[in-house]
Structure 1
Amino acid sequence: MRALVTGGSGFIGQHLVSALAARGETVRVLDVRTPTHLVPDVEFIEGSVLDPVAVDSAMTGVGAVYHLAGLPGMWMPDKEDFHRVNCVGTETMLAAAKKRGVARFLHCSTESILFRAKDSQGVVADEDLQPAQMMPGAYTRSKALAEERALEAAASGFPVVVGTPTMPIGPHDHGLTPPSAMLRHFLNSRIQLYLDFIVNLVDVRDVASGLILALERGRVGHRYVLGGESIRLRRVLRHVAEISGRRHLAISVPGRFAELAATMLDFVADNITRRPPTGTAEGVRIALRATDLSIDKARCELGYLPRPIEPTLRETLAYLRNAENNDAMFDVGKRALGTAAH
């Protein structure tokens, strides 16, 4: 059965494609970017999930769809891009998959739209969590609507399952997704101003395995949280200090202060620099509402077994440091070439 992976050039996507290929499956990737690492015998189609013609063509002969394509960051110059790519792109994919009679469809969602119910206590089972009615910003609104569309399709009889990764980390995050960007920021900051909240870190390779399990074993119309370990950010920072061997001064800041500072950064990015800020108000609001997510449903129904996160955290930090050193060497080489040319 040929599998189509949208967003297969992304961080999770490239690991999913490698995992599928290692199982001997026939894989096709639809993405606007060429993969940094081309897996042998994997077909790549350059195209957007917003292009119905490209999507329909990519769907030819496909039995299973892993829909991962989306905008993962929380800032864009045009906020409508989030809705167009994350929501409308999902609608386009679902329509084409229905038309082609695809046997299974996996929609990749995000933990950022899941929040604790007001009357719940302690760890909350993923089946008890629902997308909040009022999302913290444009990114989460678009992802919540996309998941709604996927579940509506499942309710109408189309075989859709939702996989919800938490915060994936690991090697080869070339585009620096938010978790890796956060780790690199703290790795390089001698003074660490941080908002202490619960983060659920998971190895990206476990996410890839979990998505495959969800597509193959998941119940139609159900969501499966694919997470790892829930820990507070201050503990992550201790790990960063221990693993890096560098001294850092970590200072916890109140939530209200963090949100106000991030709002100012948003304003500067939106109106002056037109470049991504170091933090966003939406990101702070998500952190303030973060909860301890349970993976029991995925563990029991899918056989999902994530590895301990500390070895992966060490591997991720080593990768980020090496990548940064390689970038610095590349910049020095470019300057040297430029000097020689003159």
Structure 2
Amino acid sequence: MQAFVTGGTGFIGANLVRLLLQEGYAVKALARSGSRLDNLQGLDVEIVKSDLNDPDLWQRINGCQFMFHVAAHYSLWQADRDALYQNNVVGTRNILAAAQKAGVERTVYTSSVAAIGVGASGNAVDETYQSPIEKLVGHYKKSKYLAEQEAVKAVQAGQDIVIVNPSSPIGPWDIKPTPTGDIILRFLRRQMPAYVDTGLNFIHVQDVAWGHLLALQKGKTGDRYILGNQNLTLKELLDQLAALTGQPAPQNAIPAWIPLTVAWIDEQLLAPLGKTPSVPLDGVRMAQQPMYYNAAKAVRELGLPQTPLSTALRDSIEWFVKNSYVKKD
């Protein structure tokens, strides 16, 4: 059984590649020229140097029965608008067409809960919910919605594709790190004197990897599955980190107008003058409403694991410390 994986050098992809190898799959991993390969070092993986816009990509996929399209461009900066649509929407269209041409039997497409949107008044929503695209905050969310529609169109044209929508994963191999990993790191480095009053759905990244494999094995063609676990306020997450580390959690919430003002000045006034912005405006706007989700369908139909969040946080802390992101006390 041979699987073609895009995004294998990233957080979810690196955990998925390890799981596939553990379960006996041979893996080809797509990597752009110049990509950091740290997350795949020492693994028995065939690295395919190419990108989603390669017209001959189907030849690299040839011979693989399955594909996991995990790769995506993530950015909340307004200036990255064009790159988001090119990589996420056009790139998804290209790779799905290449998989079809290469004779791939089944594809798992990694969307995001970002493509679903958020419920009213912080209510948890499931796969049946969909925010209108004009209500999705920022070009990242809009690009992920449009990319998911590319997968839906391909299914309607006869391709066997299952869609998974991970929430906010936590755990090892968070090399960049992700926004959630950055929260954990800033807490560990004692760089978080206050917090934003928001909430997210969190899940162990290794459960997300299992969700991908279970979607391949059990998912219904054309269906989407939220890969999530626990809904927590950011304050509750920080309190869990405090309990695990013995470090104090911040006690004060930042009024929403402060980060909004900082972000607006950063992106609208200083960025055009050449300053690298520090706070993305879309990120602040997203945080104004809790992003809660219900993963019951994936648990029920796929058997999605629900590892305790404390385990995910502990695994994340250990990985960051071991890899020198945080100085040991």
Q: Same fold (TM over 0.5)?
A: yes
Shift in alpha-carbon separation, 1:257–1:98, aligned structure 2, 3 A: same
Q: Is contact 1:31–1:45 with CA below 8 Å preserved after alignment?
A: yes
* AA at the equivalent of 2:18: S
Q: Summarize the alignment of residues 170-319 of structure 1 with structure 2, pairs less than 5 Å apart.
A: 170-189=171-190, 191-267=192-268, 270-272=271-273, 275=276, 277=278, 279-319=279-319
Give the deviation of 1:13 after TM superposition: 0.6
Give 1:1-342 correspondences, 5 Å limit.
1-32=1-32, 33-36=35-38, 37-53=40-56, 55-75=57-77, 77-118=79-120, 122-130=123-131, 132-189=133-190, 191-267=192-268, 270-272=271-273, 275=276, 277=278, 279-324=279-324
* Alpha-carbon distance between aligned partners in 2 of 1:46 and 1:327, rounded to the nearest angstrom: 34
Q: Distance in 1 between matches of 2:293 and 2:193?
A: 26
TM-score w.r.t. the length of structure 2 is 0.90
Question: SS where residue 219 of structure 1 aligns?
Answer: coil
- How far is 1:267 from its partner? 3.6
User: How far apart, CA to CA, are the structure 1 residues paired with 2:131 and 2:156?
Assistant: 16
C-alpha RMSD over aligned residues: 2.4
- Higher Rg of the two aligned structures: 1
8 Å contact kept, 2:122–2:290: no
Code of the aligned partner of 1:5 = V
Equivalent-residue separation in structure 1 for 2:70 and 2:157 (angstroms): 22
Give the number of aligned pairs. 325
- TM-score normalised according to structure 1 size: 0.87
Residues 66 and 190 of structure 1, relative CA distance in 2, 3 Å threshold: closer
Whether the aligned pair in 1 keeps the contact of 2:137 and 2:282 (CA below 8 Å) is yes
Query: Are the aligned partners of 2:75 and 2:84 in contact in 1 as well (CA < 8 Å)?
Result: no
- The offset of 1:122, in angstroms, is 4.0
Gap runs ≥5 in structure 2: none
Q: For residue 276 of structure 1, report the CA deviation from its aligned partner.
A: 5.6
Q: 1:265 to 1:4 in 2, by over 3 A?
A: same
CA displacement, residues 46-89 of structure 1 (integer Å, 9 cap, x when unaligned):
21112222x22221111111001111232375431111111111
Identity of aligned residues (%): 30
Paired letter, 1:308: P
